[in-house]
Amino acid sequence: MHELREQCGICGVSGHPQASYLAYLGLFSLQHRGQESAGIVSCDAGKMNIQKGMGLVNDVFSPNDFSALSGDLAIGHTRYSTTGGSHPENAQPLMVSYRHGQMALAHNGNLVNSDELRYNLEAKGSIFQTTVDSEIIVHLLAREAEPLVERALASVLSQVKGSYCLVMIKDGKLFAVRDVYGFRPLVLGRLGDAHVVASESCAFDLWGAQYVREIEPGEIVVIDKGEIRSSHLPPVKHRAHCVFELIYFARPDSLVFGLPVQEVRHAFGATLSKEHPADADLVIAVPDSGNCAALGYSQESGIPFAFGFTRNHYVGRTFIDPLQSDRDLGVKIKLNPVRQTLEGKRVVIVDDSIVRGTTTKRLISLLRDAGAAEVHLRISSPPYTWPCYYGVDTPMRSRLIASEKTIEEIGDFLHADSLGYLSQSGMLGAIKGVQPQMEPADFCCACFDGNYPAGKCFSAAKEPKKEG
Ligand code: SF4
């Protein structure tokens, strides 16, 4: 339903006899971060086993698979492509054999200098098996003369730019790494004597694991026979946590960047209500992306919250006849407005963002068809005007409605009676209200203000290619 997609979710388990099964469960919790492919590598007495494929976690694994994925060490990955395209060979984890043994790696993020690095590696004879930027890290590691993996990793990561969270198995050890900006989340936990890592803490809840802390930006964590070692890459001046994790990507039941996501979204909605009040009878959400902010808007404004749409969770990918005259069909299959609730009412509808505007326009048309007297659209983030180069599938800038039109023009295009976006200062202020130690400078807001903390892709600087 949503027009933006996160690239990947990753997890790792060390020191548990059912490591691969736990990784499998963890991937269910991270399925919202990628639905195109899933995979697990386990390690049993130094020997690695792999299973991966296209589709949802449920499509890729069956109960019989886990006896082949033996060992007390495992990493898992679930993917949505932003670079490299949707092909079986691009599914992760990547597993290779090279002169220093076997290695497996799973990556969440996007390298902005991947074209240059790949060109240089190919010029030196590297032959790539995939088109994903994660393989560049594998090739760079294979070329390192340094036998100690922590040091080799530090050397390789000084060459790559952009966003990355990595989980990696080498020499029977689990490595967990986060880029110096901390764009994407990665958390560390305990499950009895075992250590666990995951993109989001919601995986810990399913495992029954205890949240310990975030992996810090620039930190290389090594988990080796129950012991944890940690080293750090040279720091940058400011962190650049992806604020869109808080707006939309992360699950509301997760702790991300140390922040409770649901509470932050609620605060976004409350601030939005103060910035853009409305004279209305009901507040409704675009499910599920607008739920928490709509509740915050309702509670702050005193306008009652209601369920204006019923969502069908069971449709999956649906074939829609291109000749079908009803252009709203794709949206209607998934969301049906509740006429009995909406008829004759002045409605505030809250969503997290507008990307192209086509889906939002159809939702507003559905509300009017269901009898809503007025439709006031409120967005719990600033206008989305710039593409993301750090691991989010984004349309070309010319397809982003807020880069082409003023807010008034967008409201007219969508046929909304009024339109209000949360301001960037309001958004960052709401985060600080939840966690006073958080500074506005510690967040990447590039898709709203065009200030890219880690630069742009060389190729993408022309215009990013829309994939998936
Ligand atoms: S550009 Fe936007 S989506 Fe991309 S990392 Fe920055 S805040 Fe997140």
Q: How far is CA 143 from CA 1, 32, 98, 121, 126, in A?
A: 42, 35, 10, 10, 10
| The pLDDT value given to residue 333 | 86
pLDDT for residue 391 is more than 70: yes
| The pLDDT value given to residue 236 | 94
The DSSP string of 152-208 is HHHHHHTT--EEEEEEEEETTEEEEEE-TT--S--EEEEETTEEEEESSTHHHHHHT
- Between the CA of 452 and the centroid of ligand 1 the distance, in Å, is 9
Place of tokens 């903390």: 453
Residue nearest ligand 1's atom 4 by CA: 388
| The pLDDT value given to residue 84 | 63
pLDDT digits (tens, 9 = 90+) for 11-21: 999 999 999 99
| The pLDDT value given to residue 367 | 97
pLDDT for residue 201 is more than 80: yes
Ligand 1 pocket test, pick from 242, 245, 264, 268 with the greatest ligand atom count within 8 Å of Cβ, gives 242
CA 394 to chain centre: 12
> Measured from the CA of 183, which atom of ligand 1 is nearest?
5
Ligand 1 pocket test, pick from 390, 456, 457 with the greatest ligand atom count within 8 Å of Cβ, gives 390
Q: Is 445 in the pocket of ligand 1 (CB under 6 A)?
A: yes
Does the annotation mark 444 as catalytic? no
3-state SS class at 136: helix
Residue predicted with more confidence, 194 or 327? 194
- Between the CA of 453 and the centroid of ligand 1 the distance, in Å, is 10
Residue predicted with more confidence, 394 or 401? 401
Q: Is 243 in the pocket of ligand 1 (CB under 6 A)?
A: yes
pLDDT for residue 464 is more than 80: no
- Quick check: 12 and 167 in contact, CB under 8 A? yes
pLDDT for residue 80 is more than 60: yes
Q: Is 248 in the pocket of ligand 1 (CB under 6 A)?
A: no
What structural domains and CATH numbers belong to the chain?
5-240 (3.60.20.10), 256-313+326-449 (3.40.50.2020)
Q: Is 194 in the pocket of ligand 1 (CB under 6 A)?
A: no
- Between the CA of 445 and the centroid of ligand 1 the distance, in Å, is 6
Angle at alpha carbon of residue 295, lines to 294 and 300, rounded to 5°: 100
Residue nearest ligand 1's atom 2 by CA: 447
| The pLDDT value given to residue 6 | 64
Question: 87-99: buried (b, 16+ CB within 10 Å) or exposed (e) per residue?
Answer: eeebbbbbbbeee
| The pLDDT value given to residue 393 | 82
Q: What's the predicted TM-score (pTM) here? A: 0.94
Query: What's the mean per-residue pLDDT of the chain?
Result: 92
Alpha-carbon distance of 262 to 247, in angstroms, equals 9
| The pLDDT value given to residue 147 | 84
pLDDT bin (cut points 50, 70, 90) of residue 267 is very high
> Measured from the CA of 394, which atom of ligand 1 is nearest?
3
- Between the CA of 85 and the centroid of ligand 1 the distance, in Å, is 20
Q: Is 446 in the pocket of ligand 1 (CB under 6 A)?
A: yes
pLDDT digits (tens, 9 = 90+) for 268-306: 999 999 999 999 999 999 999 899 999 999 999 999 999
Alpha-carbon distance of 263 to 270, in angstroms, equals 11
pLDDT digits (tens, 9 = 90+) for 180-189: 999 999 999 9
pLDDT digits (tens, 9 = 90+) for 214-226: 999 999 999 999 9
Q: Is 444 in the pocket of ligand 1 (CB under 6 A)?
A: yes
**Beta strands 374-379 and 346-351: pairing type?**
parallel
| The pLDDT value given to residue 102 | 95
pLDDT for residue 468 is more than 60: no
pLDDT digits (tens, 9 = 90+) for 136-175: 999 999 999 888 899 999 999 999 999 999 999 999 999 9
pLDDT for residue 53 is more than 80: yes
pLDDT for residue 466 is more than 50: no
Angle at alpha carbon of residue 271, lines to 287 and 240, rounded to 5°: 85
- Quick check: 204 and 198 in contact, CB under 8 A? yes
> Measured from the CA of 243, which atom of ligand 1 is nearest?
7
Residue predicted with more confidence, 25 or 321? 25
pLDDT digits (tens, 9 = 90+) for 114-136: 999 999 999 999 999 999 999 99
pLDDT for residue 86 is more than 50: yes
- Between the CA of 391 and the centroid of ligand 1 the distance, in Å, is 8
- Between the CA of 444 and the centroid of ligand 1 the distance, in Å, is 6
The rounded percent of the chain whose pLDDT value lies above 70 is 93
Other beta carbons less than 10 A from residue 235's beta carbon: 12
Residue predicted with more confidence, 81 or 39? 39
pLDDT for residue 82 is more than 90: no
Q: Which two tokens stand for residue 284?
A: 């409704």
- Quick check: 212 and 189 in contact, CB under 8 A? yes
pLDDT for residue 334 is more than 50: yes
| The pLDDT value given to residue 458 | 57
- Between the CA of 442 and the centroid of ligand 1 the distance, in Å, is 12
| The pLDDT value given to residue 190 | 98
